[in-house]
Structure 1
Amino acid sequence: MATGTFIFTFEGKSFPKYISVYRNKLEVKTYIKPVILCFKCFRFNHSKNVCRGKERCEKCGNNDHPKEHCAIKEDLCLYCGGDHLITDRKKTSNLIKRGLVTAALSNPNSPNFELADEKGSNGSRSGGLGDSDMETF
């Protein structure tokens, strides 16, 4: 699908404000990869198709019952403890914008957000991932 978007990778920590592509001056903007949330274990950076974790309750994080049978009646975020579910796009997007999810993903000691092996069954980095199996924020 043609989107009119190019993704370039630059070496180093800085990049130019503009580049020339086929004699067209194009503004360079930072690309931020969408954050993927697994709907099985409710951790980030993988989908339920490649999840190696146990299925967890969306409200409390325990793996012995689904959300519908949770003793916690009010919505509770597994990440920040706020009064919303981790699947609430607006609230989770705010956490992402503030860099809190990125910080958790880069911290190997963070128990709530372990990274899964992102390789799909066909060996590709995104193989086997379907839109119905993951949510991007």
Structure 2
Amino acid sequence: MRRTVQFQAPQGESAGRESAGRPEPLRTEFAFDLPRGYVDESGTVHRSGVMRLATARDELVPLRDDRVRENSAYLSVVLISRVVTRIGTVEDIHPGIIEDLFASDLAFLQDFYRRINAEGHTRAAVSCPSCKEEFAVDLAGGRLGES
């Protein structure tokens, strides 16, 4: 499901969101790079992927899933499998794929989900432990050492 709609900011909030008098399109898909990567049956490692914004249905349907009813921790597996549209060349994302991710990759996707759906962006405010300088990093892209 791909959607792009025009964002109409309420009055007083449009500063910085419009360029040349045009509203900025609402972004509904976000690229990411997994910390470790999904390893498929042939041993290929897939790291880059795409997650879309969740709908109300995405959050409600898993609650009817028997696996979730038996084990509430399984909710995140079903939910993440509904909103991740691609990992590498794998486009048929289902709970079995998410189950086979490394724990660090699942934790990354859970945090990524929270950031794009609750906060609306993939940036995180951080500060350097040495110099205490504050800056933002984009969690969606780049490999270690890149910003």
Same fold (TM over 0.5): no
If each structure's strand is expressed as a fraction of its own residues, which one has the higher value?
A: 2
Higher alpha-carbon Rg: 1
Higher helix share: 2
TM-score range, shorter chain: under 0.3
TM-score (norm 2): 0.27
Greater relative CO (CA pairs within 8 A, separation 6+): 1
Give me the TM-score of the superposition, normalised by structure 1. Answer: 0.28
